[in-house]
Amino acid sequence: MNRVEAAPGQHELSHRLGELLRIGVALSKERDINRLLEAILVAAKTITNADGGTLYRMTDNQTLRFEIMRNDTLGIAMGGTSGVDIPFYPVNLVDKEGKPINSMVAAYAVHHDCSVNVADAYTEAGFDFSGTKNFDKKTGYRSTSFLTVPMKNHEDEIIGVLQLINAKSRQSGEVVPFSEDDQHLAESLASQAAIALTNRLLINHLESLFESFIQMINAAIDDKSPYTGGHCERVPTLTMMLAEAVNNCKTGPLSDFAMSDRDRYELKIAGLLHDCGKVTTPVHVVDKATKLQTIYDRIDLIDTRFEVIKRDARLAMLMGGESETSTDAFLRGVDDDREFLRKANIGGEAMRDEDIARVKAIAAKYRWRRPDGTIGDFLTVNEVENLTIRAGTLTGAERQIINHHIEVTIQMLEALPWPRHLKNVPEYAGGHHERMDGKGYPRGLKREQMSLQARCMGIADIFEALTAKDRPYKKGKTLTESLTILGKFKLNGHVDPDLFDVFMWDKIYEKYAREFLDPEQIDVVDVSSIPGYRPPPAR
């Protein structure tokens, strides 16, 4: 075959080989599939000095799908990062009867596992270039030389095709055939590119499998407790919102913090796994909506005892033991005590000392006749313990059970053989219940002993819990109510003060609210009234 351009000199060939090695290293580092595919085609064009090219990917239904198209002369940039879809149908590899199609150059390269070097499409016999010629008529372009190279992975499977168009002379700029050196370099690049692409796809598949496994764990937790079903989704989202705000912060003590894509992925995984230990937490503790709830709310049992006492009082009156006036007064007292215990059972407000004393007094005040006729204590020791919980619905022992989930989380995560780029996941996920003053749990870490990422997750976990509207024991608080509590946490050493400032300055709470809160929770926040708030520094 006659060549318009002479073979490159030794110096030029050495330069192109060096470029090939540099490109191979760059391809191996690229994480994004679209950018990787684009880089492969651009590198092939550069190394062969081609005017245009197309990269095809093999599909599962015997076709080659257009992935990337570039043409310098026509200014065409489709697929990849261009944002422009390629409007062409895939190239069929077999006909309707399942027979191989060899008339198309790209299909031929696949079926015969070989490169095809065409000097001039308009004079080449044996291939159908009608589509190319129609394209040329519409655009005024002249598609002349073609170099088509199959891309094979490490298992010797063809995963794509690289097709280059119109090699240009480095001396004159005229279109020339692709030389043998061009073909060898393109084949070497295709081999490296196929390995890089296969590796990235494999990594992506493994990451997808890993994330699906995490979602399965979270789904199991959510299935146990529908009241906290969205917690495992919302905390990672809010954590990333805050971390991104810090990453973009250009002033203040956190301005040096920066995240790479790998850092972001590591924090995302930690967020998704931050409560994985709850898979061991008993449902009746997680879902304890009232102080007396176990499998059911035992306040109904106490109601029954009150009714027995009222019945016995009425019987005593009828039998002449008590006057109607004293009986009525007694029954009103019973009703008052019953209503008091029902309110105490809710656990929404903190119990005062006098409230706790009244619960104990009621326990001592009444005796009731059991169904078997025996007389028993009106309240059991366990019922008194629960009804005298000062705040919330959990006893000390139950609170320990809840708190134990973070220890289980840490144990589970530290037992996994994390790769280097995920090695901080246990620390990030395991620190969201620590406090800046060292009074948190499970390890009593102080601010300087924790990563910024773990401190971000701590704020996210608290704010999500305050605003959550799906808890059985409380209503979701408004933004002002939640920020007021969070601000007090800043002042008392609970949360990181610098992160609280960024949370306020960047209005993370508004971004989160738009996505997750009900309209009635989204009130107008007067930041000057929020404890601990300080204006952002002048820029």
pTM of the predicted structure, to 2 decimals:
0.67
Nearest-angstrom CA–CA distance, 176 and 168: 6
Predicted local distance difference test score (pLDDT) of residue 349 = 66
Tell me: pLDDT of 301 over 60.
yes
Provide the residue type at 467 as one letter.
T
Nearest-angstrom CA–CA distance, 59 and 57: 6
**All domains in the chain, ordered by first residue:** 10-202 (3.30.450.40), 225-282+407-529 (1.10.3210.10), 289-393 (no CATH)
Nearest-angstrom CA–CA distance, 72 and 392: 68
Contact between 116 and 126 (Cβ < 8 Å): no
Q: Per residue in 219-265, pLDDT tens?
A: 777 777 665 557 888 999 999 999 999 999 988 899 999 999 999 99
Provide the residue type at 452 as one letter.
L
Band (4; pLDDT cuts 50, 70, 90): very low
Contact between 533 and 488 (Cβ < 8 Å): no
Nearest-angstrom CA–CA distance, 34 and 31: 9
User: Could you tell me the two tokens for 380?
Assistant: 């059991």
Query: What's the maximum distance between 2 C-alpha atoms anywhere in the chain?
Result: 128
Predicted local distance difference test score (pLDDT) of residue 461 = 94
Contact between 269 and 419 (Cβ < 8 Å): no
Mean pLDDT of 316-329: 84
